[in-house]
Amino acid sequence: MKRVFASLDRHTVHECDYDEPDRYRELLSMKPGKPLIGRGAGVSYVAASFGEGVTSIGMGRFNRILALNAAERWIEVEAGITLGRIFEFLTGRGLCLPVQPGHPHITIGGCIAGNVHGKNQFREGLFGEHVRSLRLFHPLHGMLDLSPEQNTGLFDLTIGGFGLTGLIVSARIALAPLPSAAMQVSHVPVGDLTEAFAKLAELKASHDMVYAWLDLADRSHPGRGYIVAATADPASEPALGTITARDLLTASRIPRLFNDLTLPIINRIYRTMGTRQTGPRRVPLDAILYPAVGKERYFDAFGKPGFIEMQILVPENAVAAFIPRVLALVRKHGCAVALTTLKAFRGKPHLLHYTGAGFSFTIDIGNDPAALRMLAELDEINCELGAATAIMKDSRLSPAVARRQYSGYDAFKQQLLTFDPGHLFTSDLSRRLELHAS
């Protein structure tokens, strides 16, 4: 069946073939032929789960819990299950997934293929570090069991492999004890970017989750904002119940709300509201884990052209050089940045993983020619400073820039070629970034 798919940033839109198997024998009978790509919830910022002439295989019906071992703290699930469903299941049992990106509709398949992060990256690392084993189906190779002991290379390539090694069918994931059902959350105001980086580095030592919301649309005080810092609140009762979130993909017809005139005002109101009460207050765990719930229409506010999210891993030792250059760039181009956030990171670069010792700096900006010129200049600055752009976020990232920023770029391509020489698994993303070596 034909479906029109759009990336979350509304940047890339294609009419594609779509299939949604719901039985194992349908998976197992797939033959190598037309290009395929796995699809979870389809809420990625970039066109990673579809592409022109590619059949997307929706994995949403494979969403069952296969095993739970509370004593050894692991769960085995089919890859189409959502974070929200796992949260609902685990909370009452005093357990949780150690790493969770910001929306309950995101699936485990998407978390593995994107090797995503949460708000505690500086402690727990990336999602992939908690995957103990997985089952992968590839029409050429059949059903394969992968783990650090078995098919090691392919296991490594599938985590953060953008779905290009095949369909992730199920996975065993390590769990953490649920620290508490609610968090004590403070909003610590910061006056500029330098203070934001410094304060974030300081607060991460004493908090379980930290990130910053900053305002780069404010021309007189760019970078003003606040740090959200959360610690467990053991006194809180486990909140049971279902998580309801709105669909992220059905674009509403609201008129374009964000532009250079409105954004400074909207952001100022948002910041004022965010800093009205700074002291610790109790917030349900799901509200802090999934802050985008209830704000789903944000993604429509950029209108039809959509937006670009650029997420940059700035190494610790490059922060001092990065701040003045990014500020000068925003001033020079005069584009209003809608959203600016900051997270703390740890880790070592590997293949195409978005990680490293430093900070993740993210901006969302309306997709127009001025913004594209600014981001192209920022690409150069990043390359110079050794910063890397998140592949799963930025729809305009070019293969040349990706190659300069990721030392594992060539190795990834080479390994993929060995496993899938016919490029059976292909997406708009893999084509744009030229991830298929020939």
Ligand X SMILES: Cc1cc2nc3c(=O)[nH]c(=O)nc-3n(C[C@H](O)[C@H](O)[C@H](O)COP(=O)(O)OP(=O)(O)OC[C@H]3O[C@@H](n4cnc5c(N)ncnc54)[C@H](O)[C@@H]3O)c2cc1C
Q: Which residues bind another protein (CB under 8 A)?
A: 1, 18, 20, 22-25, 61-62, 64-68, 78, 89
Residue type, 432: R
Which residue among 54, 75, 77, 79 contacts ligand X (CB under 6 A)?
Answer: 79
**β-strand partners of 131:** 173
78 touches, from another protein, ligand X, none (C-beta below 5 to 8 Å by class):
another protein
Which stretch, 27-35, 108-116, 144-152, 202-210, contacts ligand X (CB under 6 A)? 108-116
Position of minimal CB gap to ligand X: 110
SS3 state at 30: coil
- DSSP sequence for 371-432: HHHHHHHHHHHHHHHT-EE-TTT-TT--HHHHHHH-TTHHHHHHHHHHH-TT--B--HHHHH
For residues 20 and 202, which CB has a smaller minimum distance to another protein in the complex? 20
Q: How many CA atoms lie within 13 A of 386 on its CB side?
A: 13
Residue 41 contact partner, candidates another protein, ligand X, none, CB within 5 to 8 A by sort of partner? ligand X
**28-36: long-range pairs with CB below 8 Å, 24+:** 28/137, 28/142, 28/143, 30/137, 30/139, 31/139, 32/139, 32/140, 32/422, 32/424, 33/139, 35/423, 35/424, 35/425, 35/426, 36/139, 36/167, 36/424, 36/425, 36/426
Among another protein, ligand X, none, partner that 65 touches (CB below 5 to 8 angstroms by kind) = another protein
Residues 212-251, one symbol each (x = binds ligand X by CB under 6 A, - = not), give: ------------------------------------x---
Position among 10, 39, 138, 413 found at the interface with ligand X (CB under 6 A) = 39
Q: What's the min distance (Å) between Cβ of 419 and another protein?
A: 24
Q: CB nearer to ligand X: give 107 or 186.
A: 107
CB of 148 to ligand X, least distance (A): 19
Complex with another protein: residue 85 or 431, whichever CB lies closer: 85
* Near ligand X by CB under 6 A: residue from 44, 91, 151, 415: 44
Cβ closer to ligand X: 184 or 430? 430
Query: C-beta of 21: minimal distance to another protein in Å?
Result: 8
Instruction: Give the closest residue to 79 by CA, choosing from 33, 150, 131.
Output: 131
- Cβ atoms 19, 167 nearer than 8 A: no
Residue 107 interaction partner, one of ligand X, another protein, none, beta carbon < 5-8 Å per kind: ligand X
DSSP string for residues in 420-436: -TT--B--HHHHHTT--
Bridge partners of residue 182, in order along the sequence: 284
Q: Which is nearer to another protein, 15 or 22 (CB)?
A: 22
Contacting residues toward ligand X, per CB under 6 A: 8, 37-44, 48-49, 59, 79, 101-103, 106-107, 109-110, 113-114, 116-118, 162-163, 167-168, 248, 292, 392, 427
